[in-house]
Amino acid sequence: MENNFKDDAKENNQDEFTKVDFKSGGQNLKMLFISFIKSPINTFKNVAKAKDTNIFNSSIIILLIWAVIVFIHSLFSYKYSGTYLILNIIRDITIPILSVGFLALVIHFLNPNKDDKYSLTNAVTASILCKAPIILSSFISLLNIITSKSYVITTPITYFCTCISIIFTFFAIKYLYKDSDDSKSFKSFVVVQAIYYVIYLFLSFLNVTLM
């Protein structure tokens, strides 16, 4: 099974994700993780070609892990307790979901191939994978709970991971939109990002910050 993911580094027209019969969700997630670490760009290619929900189901698990990380952050970030604490924790947990949801919807509705059966689920999967660097930085930022001095390390990591996330978004759009022309892909990327950040600014007025 691991050999299928070694082929990610090679140019081919086969979608190994749809060929592999995963025995469990955990195994599915493991293989997706290995593939993404080895070759994230080829993983986005596979996501764009996926004709089932195997990768989508695994990406939802990743989103849930992100929500747990945010929950831990929130639990130790607020000094008050009671209703205010609960409401703020609920708000914080919804931020990853909104962040992925809005990005996926913008990508999907601007996608010239949105009539494909799996275009929406693939857009959601790609959006979650685009946020993978931010999820990693959120996990590393748990060090801030232990000591405030860790901000010296975690802050630059957060900025770096955010940049990588934006780059991943370009490749996600490129392959989901099936654009072979990089200039056309870049224009689509700019439009998607512009709409996404308009939503970002609107929600910021409501004290909701997307990641």
pLDDT in tens, 115-137: 889 999 999 999 999 999 999 99
Give pTM, 2 decimals: 0.84
Q: Is 148 exposed, middle or buried (0-12, 13-18, 19+ CB in 10 A)?
A: exposed
Residue 73 structural domain:
2-205
Q: How far apart are CA 178 and CA 172, in angstroms?
A: 10
Residue 132 in any domain: the answer is yes
Residue 211 in any domain: the answer is no
What's the mean pLDDT in 134-149? 90
Domain count, the chain: 1
Residue 210 in any domain: the answer is no
Q: How far apart are CA 4 and CA 26, in angstroms?
A: 17
Q: How far apart are CA 131 and CA 125, in angstroms?
A: 10
Contacts of 48 (CB under 8 A, 6+ apart): 122, 126, 172, 175, 176, 178
Residue 36 in any domain: the answer is yes
Q: Helices 151-176 & 83-109, crossing angle to 10 degrees?
A: 30
Residue 128 in any domain: the answer is yes
| Residue carrying the six token digits 């082929």 | 7
What per-residue confidence (pLDDT) applies to 147? 83
Residue 152 in any domain: the answer is yes
What's the mean pLDDT in 41-50? 94
pLDDT in tens, 157-186: 999 999 999 999 999 999 999 988 889 999
